[in-house]
Structure formats: C-alpha cells, structure tokens
Structure 1
Amino acid sequence: MRSSLVSKSAVAAKIKTTASPLRAKLSNGLQVVSQDNGGAVSQLILAFRAGSRYQSTTQQGLVHHIRNFVGRDVQSYPGLQLVWASAASGGQMNSFASRDILGVHMAVPRDTAEYALSILGQVASRPAFKPWEIEDVLPTIRADLTRKTPYGIVFEDIHRAAFRNDSLGHSLYAQKNEIGRFGSEEMKEFAKKHFVNGNGVLVGINVDSETLNNYGEQNGAIQDGSLVVSHLSPFRGGDYRRTSPGSAVHVIIAGTGAQNNDVKQLAAQSIIAAHIQTTVSPLTQNILPGGVPSGSAVSASYDGSGLIGIYLNTTAAMSDPLVRRTVEEFRNLKIKNLEGTKRRAINEILFNSQNTVFTGFDLATAALHKGPEPSAIIEEIQKIQEKDVNGFVKTAFERIAISAYGNCSGITYSDEI
C-alpha cells in the first residue's frame, strides 16, 4: 500500500500493537527503559552521556579511542573471558557512539538476558584501559578512518561547519595526528567521571522490566556518580571543504534542526525530512535536473540543537548552481500536500521502530535527555498545521551550513547566498 493512502485510523491501530516503553529512575540515579514486544531476541544497551561533545577541545579523538577499547580487559575480568562469555550466551556485542551518548549494545536470546546483563555492566562501565593494550587498539582506529565513505565525510564536516568549535562540532573520529595521543590515565579519568549511575541509562527490548530494574539496583559494576551536563552548542552556520581528485562532489546543505527534547520541533522536522526524502518532492524536482533522485534528507537532533537539510552527489560543473537552487528552495519551501507528507513522516517513524537496535538507541538518547517517545512525535505530527511548518522553515534556513568533499572549489560560500 502506498504510504500516502495510509489513514490516521490505520496509524493509530499500528501504534496500539507496539508495546509502549516503560521508564524508571532508580534510587541510585540510573535511568531504566524497557519495552517488551514479545520477541525472542533481547536487545540490551548500557549508555552514558559521554559522546564526542563531552570531549574537551584538547581531547579530540578521545571518545573514539575509548569506544574501540570495548572487548578488552575490564577491571575485574580479562576481556577474552567476557567475549567468550558473551558468545556462549548466544550474544553479539558492539560499542557505539554519537555526539550525545557512548555505550555498548548486546543482542542475546531472551532466556539469557539476565546473564548477559552482568557481562554488559562490566564491559560498558568498567574498562581497565591497560597501557599495554593501547597499541592493540590503534590499528582498529586507523581501520575506521579507511572505511569512511564520502557521505560519512561530509556528514562529519557539516557539524564542523554548523557548530564550528563548539561541542557538537567535535568529530566522532580521531584524526590521523590524534591516534595514540591518549594515555591510560586520561581514558580512566574520562570513564570515572562519565560511566556512572547518575549519568547512564539501561535499555532493554524484549526483556522483562523487573529483570532490568533488579540488575540496575543490585549490580556492583556501575559506580555511583552525578549527571554530566554538556556545553551548549548553538547552530552558527558556515562552510567546511575537503578537496579530492576527480569530478565528483558530495555536498550537505543544512539549517538549524530540532533539539531532541522538543516534541513540536521534532514533529515539524520529521515532516520536512519526509518532504525532502521522497523522489516526487517538488523540492528535489526543482533542484535536480530531470528529476534525478540523487538527493536524500539529512536529519539529526541533539541536546540543545540539531540539523535538517539534504545530501547531494553531483559533478563539479553542476555543483554551484545546484547548491544555489537548493538554498533558494529551502528558504521558499512550501508543502502543497501537507497531509500526504505527514503520513509519509509517520510511516518513516513506524518503519524505523521495527528495527529494535535503532529503537534501543533512540530510547537511550531520549531517556538521557528527557526526549519524547516515537508515539508522542506521531501524535504531534497529526496536529501540525501549515503555519507550524512555515514557522519552522523560516527559523531553520535563516542561516545555513555547507560541507563539501571532492572537486568543490567552485561552490559558493554560504554567506554569499
């Protein structure tokens, strides 16, 4: 069925078939979020407000080093023992980081979730950062840099352009000259401050809430500590460019997006993203010759700010007129079929909610920043009117940021458009 034909009643019915997450704050300060969909695989996440924005300006690349230490020794157990224990429970384990949070995710058979939690607590909150293991971690950081795609490069750089030297401009990746800069003691100090109950969240999908709460209250792995508040990072706008050989150019153009705890802003941003994303959007039809579907929405929300815009893959000859047309379209953006666009936005949220890993990540971020649940955003989307969209657009694209990678010397700078 085409998304534009889905009715509000069908959306409501869909929402009712999905379990609502249960949130609790334990006496030790740890946030706990559970959502039992009755699935056979449990998704477990232990995360902290410790993403790349929590690095100081002299610590660029530190979070990348810490993230890649997962699987190494912890304070009470050898890393190999924990990895084998995870595998023996039928689980998969990996670390992740965003600008707001840093954590560890495990996927395990439901009947081993309680045992897996004991592994997760040790791995995520008690890394040992032994000096002799640092040399083993450095090749994995270099490998991460070699795997960066053109989109990944301009996505990182749009944060540098938009937020400049503020905390949201801090990259998720260490630069080449930053690899190996950090010693064991510096990583331990960061973990001691950030990997604590009052700064963390435990998320479980397809696991009993009582199991999560009991572990959160009774485990001895996560140390006591207080919430760590991030520095504000307002959208400033600007440009960031990297040149490379060839004729291809990759560009992201973005404006001020929604912060992750403002449900009305998030709803409006979801609608704008849906308008940009669809290949039949008037915006992409106007800026891309022949209606070529080479543009996709860029939407990111953080504590205190966000980004909304578009990614374009074009040629050097086409890049400047394309960028100019895109900015003009953004600043004059009108959605003729608002109801259809709202339905596409709702469908996108519902589609993403079927991926329990993404859901777990979103629940962790929302809990640590008092953000709304997906159902609340859907309800708000249904209330959005044309004046709300117009107001969001006016604020969002008053200033813009542009990141470009490739043969990009001919692209006009943002303050000239």
Structure 2
Amino acid sequence: MYSVRSARQFSTSALRAVSFKTVPASSDSVSSLKVIVKNAGSKSGPSGLAHLVSTSTFLDTPEKSGLRLKREAELLGGEYSAEITRDALILKATFLKEGLPFFVNALGSALAKASFKPHELKEVAGPYSSYVNSLKTSCPKTKGIEELHAVTFRSGLGLPLWYDGFKSYSTEDIKTFAKSAFLTENIEIIGENVDSADLQKFVSESSFASLPTGNDVIAQPQPTYTGSESRIRRAGKTSAVLGFAVEDADAFELVAAGLVANAPSTISANVESKVLSYDGASLFYFSVTSSDAAETSKIIKDAAKHLKTLDFSKYAKYASYLAGKPVTSKSVTIPSEFNLVVIGDVDNAPLKSEL
C-alpha cells in the first residue's frame, strides 16, 4: 500500500494535486475504483445541495447519456455508484480488471463533464434524492442520529446529510457547487487490484486531466454545542440518542464499548454506541430503539448513569473488537453535559434533565 503524487509522473498541471493510492487485491479478477472528492460533502454547502449533486453525477455528459453509460458499464461486467458523506462525495466502480480504462474515463467524465440538465433535476435527481431521505429517516435511530448532528453542530456537520425537499435548487446552484468542489486538490483516487502505473496513465489521459486546480482547503474545527434537547413525536418505535462532540475519538471508543457491554440483553431493543469521525470533529453517541417506550426510557437512563460511574479504561479489548482496530486502555474524561434526542413516543421518554 502506498500513496504518490501524480506531479512526479506527469507534466499536466491539473493532475499535480490528485492523490493516488492502491490497496491489496481482494479478488484476482475483480477490480474497483473509489474517487473521494473532499469538501463536496453535506457540510460544505447549503442544506441538501451536495446530495443533489451526488444523485446528478452519473447522468448525461456531452459524449454519453446516462442510459448509454449504464448499458456500457453492464456490458463490461461492471457497476458504479455515488454516495454522499458529511465530508465528501464518493464515486465507486467495481468491474472486471480489463475494464479499468473505461471506468477511469467514466468517473472522470462524471466529475468534469456532467451536464446537470434542468429536466434531470426535476425528473430524476430531485425525486430520487427526496425518496432516499424519506427512506433513511423513516428509521427512528437514523433520524435520531441526524437530529443529534443538528443540535450538536447546528451548521456545517449539523446540516442534513440528504436532500429533504424543503429548499428549492436550480441546476445553476448544482453547477456552482460542483465547480467549487470538483478541483484536483480535493480528489483522491483509490484503486484495488489495479496496476498503479496503469491507473496513473489512464487518469492522465482521461477527463480527470481537465479538472481545474484550486487552493487546498484545510479542515477547520467545527463549533459544537452541548446541553441541547430535541423531541420529535412520531408513530412507531421510540428511539433515544444521547451524545456530544469529542476530541479524543479513540478514548471514546472505550466509552462506546463500556455502554454497550453494560446494556441489558433484550430481543426487543436495539442498542448501539459509536464514535463518528469527521474532518475537524468527532461525534460520540449512544442510541436505543424499541417498540416499548418504557424500555427505551429505562435503557437510556441506565446509559446516562453509566456515563458518570463506569471505569471505561478496562474495556480496551472489547472496544478493539467493536471498532475493528486496536484501542488502548486510557483514562477518559466525560463531559458534564450532553445532548439528547428522542424520536417516537416522547410522552413516555425521559427529559434530559431527568437523566
């Protein structure tokens, strides 16, 4: 595994800032590409706009329609997708190894030559983005974690991850956002089961070479807030999520492990605790979701109590298992305040002041 700067290989100025990386193959015949566009995530623009950009990415270009691109990719035994995170837009492609030139060009064209036509926004990107938001947030836990971001960060990382349809955007808005984000300094290309020299050669000959250069954007610390509470009444299961921004993400992997280890065993409740790491901030949360609001109430109260009383340093082994990486034992300082979100039967869920 290694990372090199293409400026050492090519004289094309637009490629000098593109970062390349190859990773060990997981299959002899199947290859994959991942293009990470930093500063193109949901935190980087108006509410929901980045998600609209992502769903518009593999539609028409001057050379090919979205339908033709899809058919050609399928004929080559490959597939592609785009997804949005809070930090980045991520394009992915999986294909047979000999399809590398086609998919490098397809991903490059998706960034450099997307047409962003008005009818595509109205008929495809807009409705699909709203559908994804409705589908994702129909889960009370997901809705709770989204709301926790909103009360913890407010702006930036607190903006909705998906387009909720409450704001109207034009294709010019999409083009402006894409133009500001689709810069070579923001691009990292990761290839799996591909030859590094071939990857760099094909990228230099593709539409990636026509992307403009810009200035490196350094992630800034995100303003954070604690002591907030949000309660959203909704039919169905009840989810309670408590959390707060943290600086030492590894330390709070211990806290996540300790809270999960001490949660009661139950077949009716789903319990989860994680640390979500972003550029400029990390967010710790503990969530419980159950069809029984009383059960949700009891488990979230117990978790709040454990936050104040447990010795989390002894959960290093379990934390390593849950996080999928080594976590060392250390002392953890728990903030005096946290944020609480309740989705569902808010009448039978505790107030933050009761935890």
TM-score (norm 1): 0.74
How well do the aligned residues superpose, as a CA RMSD in angstroms? 2.5
Larger relative helix fraction:
1
Compared with structure 1, are the counterparts of its residues 212 and 240 closer, same or farther at alpha carbon in structure 2 (3 Å cutoff)?
Answer: farther
Q: Tell me: CA distance 1:310–1:195, structure 2 relative to 1, closer, same or farther (3 Å).
A: same
- Equivalent-residue separation in structure 2 for 1:144 and 1:204 (angstroms): 28
The CA deviation at 1:113 is 2.0
Asked whether 1:158 is paired with 2:148, we answer: yes
**One-letter code aligned to 1:51:** G
SS of aligned partner of 2:305: helix
Residue 36 of structure 1 is aligned with which of 13, 24, 28?
24
Aligned residue pairs total 338
Q: Is the 8 A contact 2:105 2:207 kept in 1?
A: no
**Which residue of structure 1 aligns with residue 255 of structure 2?**
272
In the TM superposition, residue 75 of structure 1 has moved relative to its aligned partner by: 4.3
Which secondary structure state, in structure 2, belongs to the residue aligned with residue 177 of structure 1? coil
Q: CA deviation at 1:399?
A: 2.7
CA drift at 1:106 = 0.7
Give, in angstroms, the shift of residue 133 of structure 1. Answer: 1.7
Q: Confirm or deny that 1:200 pairs with 2:184.
A: no
**Structure 1 CA distance for aligned equivalents of residues 319 and 268 of structure 2:** 23
1:220-245: CA deviation from partner (whole Å, max 9, x where unpaired): 33512223345532331222221113
Deviation at 1:107, TM superposition (A): 0.8
- 1:109 matched to 2:96? The reply is yes
What does residue 113 of structure 2 align with? Answer: 126
Q: Find the counterpart in structure 2 of residue 401 from structure 1.
A: 339
Q: Which among 153, 158, 174 is matched to residue 169 of structure 1?
A: 158
Render the CA deviation track for 1:38-91: whole Å, top value 9, x for unaligned: 523212111212100001xxx211112111113311244322222222112211
Question: Is the alpha carbon distance of 1:145 and 1:292 closer, same or farther for their aligned partners in structure 2, counting shifts above 3 Å?
Answer: closer
Distance in 2 of aligned mates of 1:159 and 1:309? 10
Is 1:142 aligned to 2:130, yes or no?
Answer: yes
Q: Give ranges in structure 2 of 5+ residues lacking alignment.
A: 8-15
Q: Which runs of 5+ in 1 are unaligned?
A: 1-20, 259-264, 350-376
Q: Deviations over 1:107-153 (max 9, x none)?
A: 11122223211111112443211122221222212321331222221
Q: Give 1:219-368 correspondences, 5 Å limit.
A: 219-221=206-208, 222-226=210-214, 227-237=216-226, 238-246=228-236, 248-258=237-247, 265-277=248-260, 281=261, 283-285=262-264, 294-314=270-290, 315-335=292-312, 337-338=314-315, 340-345=317-322, 348-349=323-324
* CA offsets 1:173-197 (integer angstroms, 9 cap, x no match): 122322xx11111111111110111
- Identical aligned pairs, as a percentage? 19
Counterparts of 1:200 and 1:65 in 2: how far apart (Å)? 19
Alignment partners' CA distance in 1, 2:220 and 2:62: 30
| Residue identity matched to 1:308 | F
Contact 1:284 1:295 in 2 (8 A): yes
**Letter of the aligned partner of 1:141 in structure 2?**
S
Partners of 1:42 and 1:269 in 2: how far apart? 35
User: Which amino acid in 2 is paired with 1:329?
Assistant: H
Seen in structure 2, the aligned counterparts of structure 1 residues 64 and 268 have a Cα distance that, compared at 3 Å, is same
Amino acid of the structure 1 residue aligned with 2:17? G
CA contact (8 A) 1:44 1:107 kept: yes
**Cα distance change, pair 130–271 in 1 and its aligned pair in 2 (3 A):** same
Match of 1:213 in 2: 200
1:375-390 matches, cutoff 5 A: 378=326, 381=327, 384-385=328-329, 388=330, 390=331
Q: Secondary structure at the match of 2:166?
A: helix
Does 2:45 match 1:47? no
Take 1:292 and 1:83, find their aligned partners in 2: how far apart are those partners? 42
336 and 305 in structure 1: CA distance in 2 versus 1, 3 angstrom threshold: closer
* Residue identity matched to 1:45: K
Q: TM-score, normalised by structure 2?
A: 0.86
Q: Distance in 2 between matches of 1:183 and 1:255?
A: 35
Seen in structure 2, the aligned counterparts of structure 1 residues 415 and 42 have a Cα distance that, compared at 3 Å, is farther
Amino acid aligned to 1:235:
T
CA drift of 1:266 comes to 4.0
Aligned partner (choices 79, 86, 90) of residue 73 of structure 2? 86
CA deviation string 1:252-300 (max 9, x = no partner):
1113235xxxxxx3433334334444xxx1x214xx7x79763112321
